[in-house]
Chains A and B, each alone.
Chain A
Amino acid sequence: MPAHEIEIILSRQLADCLTVPVFIVNPEGTLLFYNEPAEGILGKKFQDTGPMPVDDWGTSFFPHDEDGKDLNPLELPLVQTIRNKVPAHKTFWIKSLNGKSTKISVTSIPIIGRSKVFSGAMAIFWDNEVKL
């Protein structure tokens, strides 16, 4: 398998150094990498799962609004960034596998390098209750 573009490789290196959860996806939405803090949200280790197709990771936590109503996947910032190639931001709730809801904020940005090629997107998550 050929190596990822440099922008993706360097994004992973940055994500590796951060204490906020970071997801990196390719233009098809495949989760290429998630860092250690993100492993806590997914409940899975990157070294165990490797890259995950969007259908797998997209259903691992159940995004919903304040009233518990499921969010349409198209409303998720990362999905919007993949579709529109622009940054996106949203605050919403996710439900972990043990049923607990957490209010999170997500900011996603497109990864477009010097080749002007859209290589994917990176999303940073905040758990609004956790003080860093």
Chain B
Amino acid sequence: MKVKLHGTRGAYPTSSPTNQTYGGNTSCIEVIHGDERIIIDAGTGILGVDFDRYYKASRINILLTHLHMDHIQGLAFCKPLFNPKKEVHIWGPSGSSESLQSRLNRFLSPPLFPIPLRDIPATLIIKELPNTNFKIGKFEISSEYISHPGPTVGFRIKCGSKSITYMPDHEPVIGKSHLFPDDDWVSGFNLAYQSDLLIHDSQYSKKEYQTKVGWGHSSLEIAAEFCSRAKAKHLILFHHDPTNTDDERTEMFKTFMSTVNYDFPIELAVQGQEIEV
């Protein structure tokens, strides 16, 4: 499998000249195996997906972790939606009462968007995900609710013997400096357990997190502790805070790395990066 990071930024897109190294587009990744591809999250990063070149078949699969703006903003401008020959399957978390379709329609309809969901030219197939396992082609996918405001799932994608876990927005423990000592009390643990690659929220520094408790995001420290606890083999720190310049983010990362000693590779996500798993 291969993962391409099309958008690594959290909260909102940024085009600041000081934010070019890690990239300014919001969450979107592509998981690739041979000529099969799935897209996860539709932040502005989805605009970097080369639909003309790699999506010859009519069916396209877009999985959404949740409906916060930074994860769906690019959907409105995603080319296949305006192609009547395309069948776009959108998978996202079930809510308690309102359907996924109705929640998506709140954004993809006037006055926020010129046309309502039902008038989009492509054939839209919207599928709700509770805690479940399903297959798309060769990808075996598990979705599970994780700790983040509003209905939010994380995904584990398995293909052959390899697995990738994607949790762009996740606060595994709220307001504490460490995870609970028992694995069964760690949100998202099942999804991440022994993954070959973990792409995880790390929006804040340890100090910043103290003033953002309950906002739904992790610090670099918590992300790494979570990866270690789940015995995942490679950590990509994702969902960069747009208020950090590249230099600040790099500095924060260096400081963090100088204080820890984990036995798995840890790196900051870079927009455009491809990772072989």
Please determine whether A116 and B147 come into contact, CB atoms closer than 8 angstroms.
no
Contact B146 A6 (CB under 8 A): yes
Indicate whether A2 sits within 8 Å of B173 (C-beta atoms), given known contacts A9-B185, A114-B93, A115-B131.
no
Does B174 have its Cβ within 8 Å of any Cβ on chain A?
yes
Chain A interface size, as a band, is: 10 to 19
Nearest CB to that of A6 among chain B residues?
A: B145
Residue A44 CB within 8 A of the other chain: no
CB of B145 within 8 A of CB of A5, answer yes
Once bound together, how far apart are the Cα atoms of A9 and B189, in whole Å? 11
CB-nearest residue of chain A to B154? A6
Q: Is A95 an interface residue (CB 8 A)?
A: no
The answer to whether B94 has its CB under 8 Å from any CB of chain A is yes
Residue contact B187 to A3, C-beta cutoff 8 Å: yes
Chain B residues within an 8 Å CB radius of A68: none
13 contacts across the A-B interface (CB closer than 8 A): A2-B190, A3-B183, A5-B131, A6-B144, A6-B146, A6-B147, A9-B147, A10-B187, A113-B145, A114-B130, A114-B145, A115-B145, A116-B130
Evaluate contact between B173 and A13: CB separation under 8 angstroms: yes
User: Which residues of A27-52 have CB atoms within 8 Å of chain B's CB atoms?
Assistant: 33
**Interface assignment of A4: CB less than 8 Å from any CB of chain B:** yes
A14 to B: closest C-beta gap in Å: 9
B48 within 8 A of A: no
Kindly state the separation between the CA atoms of A6 and B147 in the bound complex, as whole angstroms.
Answer: 7
Distance between A113 CB and nearest chain B CB, rounded to angstroms:
7
Q: Answer yes or no: B95 CB below 8 A from chain A CBs.
A: yes
Interface size class of B (residues with CB under 8 A): 20 to 34
B53 smallest CB distance to A (angstroms): 37
Q: Is A12 an interface residue (CB 8 A)?
A: yes
Residues of A within 8 A of B (CB): 1-7, 9-10, 12-13, 17, 33, 113-117
Residues in chain B near residue A3, CB distance under 8 A: 183-190
Q: Tell me the minimal C-beta distance from A81 to chain B in angstroms.
A: 19
Q: Which B104-152 residues have C-beta < 8 A from chain A?
A: 130-131, 144-147, 151
Could you tell me the distance between the alpha carbons of A36 and B69 in the complex, rounded to whole angstroms? 39
Question: Is B96's CB within 8 Å of the partner chain A?
Answer: yes
Contacting residue for B185 out of A12, A114, A117, CB 8 A: A12
B95-107 toward A: CB 8 Å interface, digit per residue (1/0)? 1100000000000
For the complex with contacts A6-B147, A114-B130, 7 further pairs of A-B residues with Cβ separation under 8 Å are A3-B190, A4-B185, A13-B174, A33-B185, A114-B94, A114-B96, A115-B130
Q: A9-B147, A116-B130 are in contact. Are A1 and B183 (CB under 8 A)?
A: yes
Which residue in chain A gives the minimum CB-CB distance to B186?
A3
Please list the 4 inter-chain residue pairs (A to B) with the smallest Cβ-Cβ separation, ordered nearest first.
A3-B189, A115-B130, A6-B145, A3-B184
Smallest CB–CB gap between A120 and chain B, Å? 13
Question: What's the Cα separation between A115 and B95 when bound, in Å?
Answer: 9
A3 to chain B, nearest CB (A): 4
Q: Are B130 and A6 in contact (CB under 8 A)?
A: no
CB-CB < 8 A to A9: which residues of B? 147, 185-187
Contacts of A33 in B (CB 8 A): 185
Question: What separation, in Å, do the CA atoms of A33 and B185 have in the docked complex?
Answer: 10
Among B130, B147, B183, B190, the residue within 8 A (CB) of A10 is: B147
B146, B147, B184: the one contacting A2 at CB < 8 Å is B184
Write out the residue numbers on chain B whose beta carbons fall within 8 Å of the beta carbon of A117: 131
Query: Once the chains are docked, how many angstroms separate the CA of A12 from the CA of B181?
Result: 13
Q: Are A6 and B187 in contact (CB under 8 A)?
A: yes
**Shortest beta-carbon distance from B264 to chain A in Å:** 20
What residue of chain A has the Cβ atom nearest to residue B95's Cβ? A114
Per-residue CB proximity of B170-192 to A under 8 Å, as 1/0? 00011100001001111111100
Distance (whole angstroms) from the CB of A112 to the closest CB of chain B: 9
Bound Cα distance A5, B184 (Å): 9
Known: A13-B173, A114-B130. A4 touches B184 (CB 8 A): yes
